[in-house]
Structure 1
Amino acid sequence: MKTSTLISVIVPTYNRADALSVVLDACARQTDRYFEIIVADDGSTDATRRVIERSRRQMPIHLEHVWHPDDGFRLAEIRNKAIAEARGEYLIFLDGDCVPQPDFVAQHRALAERGTMVTGSRILIGRSLTHLVVKNKVSLYGRSLVFWLAQRIKGETNKLLPLFVKLPRWPRRPERSFKWRGIKGCNMAAWANDVAIVNGFDESYMGWGHEDADFVVRLHNAGIRRKKGFMATEVLHLWHEEAPRDRADRNRQRVLQCLSDRRIAAQTGLAQTLAKARSDADAVVAA
């Protein structure tokens, strides 16, 4: 991708202001500077707004805050609202508790190619190291191999190699046969035009689980090839309690059905979000 192509980094969050602060700080330190950030806020309290306002004053990157009221788990909807506000031709999805390495945007730019999307992976950070990062403001930047070996021995991280070795032009990146497993919504990217074709994220998914896989499957059904971000775009996923997974099995079956039916468009997605926004704007003008 050209260096003159604007990228939009969409960062979903919900009531985890301390982690979001670390993520936004990492975004401000990117080696590639031609991108914007849109925080997709699924109904957080004022603590999150204050973090965003403070980051906006200090950050050299354009930062937007898209929020809607807390009405249960509505990750797909707030992502679509953020997509609707995005100005970039290319969209990177990064969770609000996943700390990007300094070359994260640059690596995604290097991997971007028309007709493809990128799904990356994550490095898990344990509870104790997460506490040091978010509470004691211990930076993960520039840490030595000795530091990370110590964390690995203590069980505070599950991977080391992607922190020190990058393979941006690895020939095995495009998948020869599609596999929907292993998709991580905390680190993936696609062209905005392709996202519009599949109608964004499907808001009809209820509860946690597999709405990210549904998004990738529909891109695949639309003819978009999946590329692996392995050993290039890894993010540091801060520890958190697991979300309730009572809907995971039913959502998984929906993904498998979507793949079987070769469905492309989300049942309720980006187009409906845009239509509602226009309707709300017209109502304000009429009033």
Structure 2
Amino acid sequence: MQSNSQASVIISTYNQPEWLALVLYSYSIQTENNFEIIIADDGSDERTKAVIDKCSSETELKITHVWHEDNGFQKTKILNKAIVASDSDYLIFTDGDCIARQDFVETHLRLRRPNCALSGGYFKLVASISNAITKTIISTQKCFDKDWLIAEGQPKSFKFNKLTKSKSKANILNKITPTKATFDGMNVSCFKSDILAVNGFDERMQYGGEDREVGERMMNNGVKFIQVRYSTICVHLHHERPYKNEEARALNEQIRKETKQKKVTYTSFGIKKE
């Protein structure tokens, strides 16, 4: 069955209902509206479901809530379930703490290329601004406005270029940035067939770099990653990181090392189980 949606936006979340409400609102005012949203929910409580139900009833968004029981960090598992649940041939991955600029979906679709993935970035908001964001601020797009952000206390830095509205400036900055194009789950898109070809995310992966590894397998499989960090714009709400788990990090690094050294293109621990 052919999907009617141009894209599936896969948003990962875990117990951040207030932020998810703001993020979903940012998708309800996109310039391109022919897309669906899949919430990849790693075991949130009822509050998240309530936010999704409310948003579904108040907006035109097509939202599918993919959930499993909370059993520790299983983000890769829920992302694989979300990929399977998606209904279009183009996937945009982001997080439930990243507010999308109005042209976010449109830009991902405009820049997509066969056999390529788009690697976006994000602009980190300081805590005081993150806590002050409202639907009104999103609807006026002030949270993407350099002057407004500086007036509200965001420190000045080169990173404000990540909020540029100029396509030509964005193109130049995308070309000259030293940052490598990788699979960063906050802002990345690819054809569904390309991520299915490598069997999705490796479900052994824990917190830290878990998204990079699927991108490394895709690269090994011939997918080219294109840098679009100055074009596909989202702002990241400030939060403390969960305590980084050294054991998990070591496991992830071991898996990634093997993927790189052996030029692995397929995981046996992905969507299809061996």
**TM-score normalised per structure 1:** 0.84
State the match for 2:190 in structure 1. 190
- What is the alpha-carbon distance in structure 2 between the residues aligned to residue 173 and residue 119 of structure 1? 10
- What is the alpha-carbon distance in structure 2 between the residues aligned to residue 158 and residue 215 of structure 1? 30
- What is the alpha-carbon distance in structure 1 between the residues aligned to residue 255 and residue 166 of structure 2? 35
Residues 156, 72 of structure 1: CA spacing in aligned structure 2 closer, same or farther, 3 A cutoff?
farther
Q: Is the deviation greater in 7-16 or in 235-244?
A: 235-244
Q: Is the deviation greater in 213-222 or in 163-172?
A: 163-172
- What is the alpha-carbon distance in structure 1 between the residues aligned to residue 13 and residue 157 of structure 2? 22
- Describe how 1:175-214 pairs up with structure 2 within 5 A: 179=180, 183-205=183-205, 207-214=206-213
- What is the alpha-carbon distance in structure 2 between the residues aligned to residue 156 and residue 71 of structure 1? 41
- What is the alpha-carbon distance in structure 1 between the residues aligned to residue 192 and residue 253 of structure 2? 25
Quote how far apart the aligned CAs of 1:163 are. 2.0
**TM-score normalised per structure 2:** 0.88
Quote how far apart the aligned CAs of 1:239 are. 0.7
State the match for 1:101 in structure 2. 101
State the match for 2:72 in structure 1. 72
State the match for 2:167 in structure 1. 167
**Amino acid aligned to 1:264:** T
- What is the alpha-carbon distance in structure 2 between the residues aligned to residue 252 and residue 146 of structure 1? 40
**Where does the alignment leave 5 or more consecutive residues of structure 2 unmatched?**
none
State the match for 1:271 in structure 2. 272
- What is the alpha-carbon distance in structure 2 between the residues aligned to residue 249 and residue 54 of structure 1? 40
Quote how far apart the aligned CAs of 1:230 are. 1.8
Instruction: Output one character per residue of 1:257-280: Cα deviation in whole Å (capped at 9) or x when no partner.
Output: 2111110112311123xx9xxxxx
Please list every run of at least 4 consecutive aligned residues from structure 1 whose deviation after the TM superposition is greater than 4 angstroms: 171-175, 177-180
- What is the alpha-carbon distance in structure 2 between the residues aligned to residue 166 and residue 248 of structure 1? 38
- Describe how 1:1-287 pairs up with structure 2 within 5 A: 6-133=6-133, 139-140=137-138, 141-143=140-142, 144-151=145-152, 154-155=154-155, 159-167=159-167, 170=171, 179=180, 183-205=183-205, 207-246=206-245, 247-272=248-273
Q: How many correspondences in the alignment?
A: 264
**Where does the alignment leave 5 or more consecutive residues of structure 1 unmatched?**
276-287
Instruction: Output one character per residue of 1:191-236: Cα deviation in whole Å (capped at 9) or x when no partner.
Output: 011111010011011x311111101100000000000112111210
SS in structure 2 at match of 1:139: helix
- What is the alpha-carbon distance in structure 1 between the residues aligned to residue 184 and residue 193 of structure 2? 21
- What is the alpha-carbon distance in structure 2 between the residues aligned to residue 12 and residue 81 of structure 1? 11
- What is the alpha-carbon distance in structure 2 between the residues aligned to residue 267 and residue 101 of structure 1? 37
- What is the alpha-carbon distance in structure 2 between the residues aligned to residue 11 and residue 198 of structure 1? 20
Residues 71, 29 of structure 1: CA spacing in aligned structure 2 closer, same or farther, 3 A cutoff?
same
Instruction: Output one character per residue of 1:114-171: Cα deviation in whole Å (capped at 9) or x when no partner.
Output: 01001100000111111112xx6552433254312324x5439873223233437837
- What is the alpha-carbon distance in structure 2 between the residues aligned to residue 223 and residue 10 of structure 1? 23
Quote how far apart the aligned CAs of 1:35 are. 0.5
Residues 158, 38 of structure 1: CA spacing in aligned structure 2 closer, same or farther, 3 A cutoff?
farther
Residues 129, 158 of structure 1: CA spacing in aligned structure 2 closer, same or farther, 3 A cutoff?
farther
- What is the alpha-carbon distance in structure 2 between the residues aligned to residue 37 and residue 157 of structure 1? 33
Aligned partners of 2:125 and 2:154 also within 8 Å: no
- What is the alpha-carbon distance in structure 2 between the residues aligned to residue 225 and residue 174 of structure 1? 15
SS in structure 2 at match of 1:239: coil
Quote how far apart the aligned CAs of 1:40 are. 0.7
Q: Identity over the aligned pairs, expressed in percent?
A: 30
- What is the alpha-carbon distance in structure 2 between the residues aligned to residue 40 and residue 269 of structure 1? 16
Q: Is the deviation greater in 182-191 or in 110-119?
A: 182-191
- What is the alpha-carbon distance in structure 2 between the residues aligned to residue 63 and residue 52 of structure 1? 8
State the match for 1:283 in structure 2. none
- What is the alpha-carbon distance in structure 2 between the residues aligned to residue 178 and residue 157 of structure 1? 17
SS in structure 1 at match of 2:267: coil
Aligned partners of 2:122 and 2:233 also within 8 Å: yes
SS in structure 1 at match of 2:65: strand
Aligned partners of 2:173 and 2:230 also within 8 Å: no
- What is the alpha-carbon distance in structure 2 between the residues aligned to residue 93 and residue 173 of structure 1? 19
